[in-house]
Amino acid sequence: MKTPIPHDIPLPLPAAEGFLKILLVVSFIAHILFVNLMVGGSLFTLYYQWKAKQKKLYDDLAQFIAQTITVNKSMAVVLGVAPLLLINVLYTVWFYSSNALTGIAWILVIPLVAIAFLLTYLHKYTWEKWRNQRTLHMSIMGVAVLIFLFIPLIFLANVNLMLFPDRWSEAKGFFSTLLIGNVFPRYFHFLAASIAVTALFLVWMLKTKWTASYKTLLDQRVTLAREFYKIALGISLAQFFFGPLLLFTLPKVGLSGSLYLAIGCGVFFAAFAMHLMAKEIKTLTDTQFAQRILPISILMTLTVLFMASGRHLYRENALASHKEAVRQKTEAYQAKVKEAQLAASEIEALAGGGNRGQKLFQSCAGCHAKDTRLVGPPLTEIAKIYEGNPAGIVAWAKAPGKKRADYPQMPPMTLPDEDLKAIAEYMLGSH
Ligand code: HEC
C-alpha cells in the first residue's frame, strides 16, 4: 500500500469540504430512500402478485404497488446524481480507483438499470392485457427484481472497495471484490431496510387519497396496514441481527468511538419507532387509521440519518491514513516541483541575464531602436531620462503620457509587470 499517488493537479474543491460532506450524507439519504422503495416495491409487487392466485385483493394490491415503482425509481435516479457527483469530487482518487477495479460490472449498471426500468413499465402497462398470461406477466417483474437485487451489489462492492486501498491489489474483476471488506452483510442490511421502509411507505399510501380508486384496498386497509406494520416490525427486529453482523465484520481500520455513538443513536430511534409500530398493530381501526405513521416515519428518518452518518465516519476513518500518505507525497512532490523550477530559472539566468529582457524587448522594437529615431525616441535618449529608474519605464509603458510635440502618442503596453521590468533593465543596460 505504501505507494499513494500524489495529488498532482492542484484543483481546489468548489466549496468548503465540511459543507460538501454534509451535502453528501443528506443527498445520499434522499437517494437511498427511493432506492429502498424501488427495490422493496418490486419485491412486494411480485410477492402479492404470486399470492393473488388465492385472493383477488392481492391482485389489486400488487397493481397498486406496481404503480409506485416507476415513480420511485425515477426519484431514485434523479436524486442519485448529487451524491454520485459529490463522492467523485470529495474522494476522487479512491472512488475512481474502485470504479476502475470493478470494471465491467460498474459500467454494466447503466444498461442493467435501463433494462430493469423498461421491464417495470412493461409490467405496469400490461396488467390488464396479460391478465390471462400470469406466468409471462409475473416473469417480467421477476427479471426486473433479479436485476434490482443485483445492482445494489455492484454499488456496494464499489463503495466498499474504495475504503481499503491496501487491498486493491487483490481485486481481479468484480467477483473478487465481493470478498474484500464486508460486502454481503452490508447487502443484507440494505435489503432488509428496503423491505421495512417500503412496508411503512405502503401503510402511509393506504392513508392517502391515492388509494381512493382501489375500493377493495380501502375496504381492507386495516388488515393490510396491520400486515405491513408486522412486516416492518419483524424486519426491524431482524436488523438487530444484521446490524451487529455488519458492524462486527467491518475491518477494524475504520472503527471509532464516534461511529459507535452514531449507531447507538440510530438504534435508539429505531427502538422507539418499533415501540410505536407495536402499538399501531394493537390499536389500528378504520376511524383511527395509522395515526402514528408520521412520528414513526420521523423516527425512522432519524435512524437512517445516524446510520448514514456512521457510515460516513467509517469511511473517513478507514481512509484517514491513506489520505495522510497522499498528503505527504503531494507535499514532497510539490517541493520537488519548486526545486526543479528554481533550478531551471537559475540555468536561464546563468545563460545570460539580459537574454529575457532582450527577447521581450521585441514588443517595443517596432517603435524604439538603439540610437536612431523610429516612431518613438531612441534608447539612448530614454536611458538618460530613466538612469537608475527602471520602475519609471514600467510605469510609463503601462500608462504612457503625452510628452514630445513632434512624436505621436505611445499606446499603453499590456505586458505583465515582471516582463516590463526585464525590458526596462535591458533598455537601461544596453545602450
Ligand atoms: C507603437 C509604437 C510604440 C511602441 C510599440 C512602444 N513605444 Fe514607447 N514610445 C512611443 C512614442 C511615440 C513615444 C514618445 C511619446 C511622447 O513623448 O509623447 C514613446 C516613448 C517611450 C518612452 C519615453 C518616456 C519619457 O518619459 O520620455 C519610454 C520609456 C518608452 N516609450 C518605453 C516603451 C516600452 C518599454 C515599450 C515596449 C514595452 C514601448 N515603449 C513600446 C511609441 C512606442
| Confidence class for position 334, pLDDT limits 50, 70, 90 | confident
Q: Whose CA is nearest to atom 12 of ligand 1?
A: 376
- Give residue 308's Cα distance to chain centre: 14
pLDDT in tens, 21-54: 999 999 999 999 999 999 999 999 999 999 998 7
Contact 381, 326 (CB under 8 A): no
pLDDT at residue 163 greater than cutoff 50 = yes
Question: In angstroms, what is the span from residue 410 Cα to ligand 1's centroid?
Answer: 5
d(CA 74, CA 370): 74
pLDDT at residue 332 greater than cutoff 60 = yes
What pLDDT score was predicted for residue 360? 87
The finding on whether 380 has its CB within 6 A of some atom of ligand 1 is: no
pLDDT in tens, 222-280: 999 999 999 999 999 999 898 899 888 988 888 889 999 999 999 999 999 999 999 99
The finding on whether 428 has its CB within 6 A of some atom of ligand 1 is: no
Which of 362, 410, 423, 430 has most ligand 1 atoms within 8 Å of CB, for mutation? 410
d(CA 259, CA 250): 12
The finding on whether 361 has its CB within 6 A of some atom of ligand 1 is: no
What pLDDT score was predicted for residue 54? 79
Q: Is residue 89 exposed (0-12), middle (13-18) or buried (19+ Cβ within 10 Å)?
A: middle
The finding on whether 157 has its CB within 6 A of some atom of ligand 1 is: no
The finding on whether 366 has its CB within 6 A of some atom of ligand 1 is: yes
The finding on whether 175 has its CB within 6 A of some atom of ligand 1 is: no
The finding on whether 118 has its CB within 6 A of some atom of ligand 1 is: no
- All three cell numbers of 395: 510605469
Q: With pLDDT > 90 as the criterion, what percentage of the chain qualifies?
A: 68
pLDDT at residue 1 greater than cutoff 50 = no
Query: Which ligand 1 atom is the nearest neighbour of the CA of 364?
Result: 37
pLDDT at residue 382 greater than cutoff 80 = yes
Q: Is residue 274 exposed (0-12), middle (13-18) or buried (19+ Cβ within 10 Å)?
A: buried
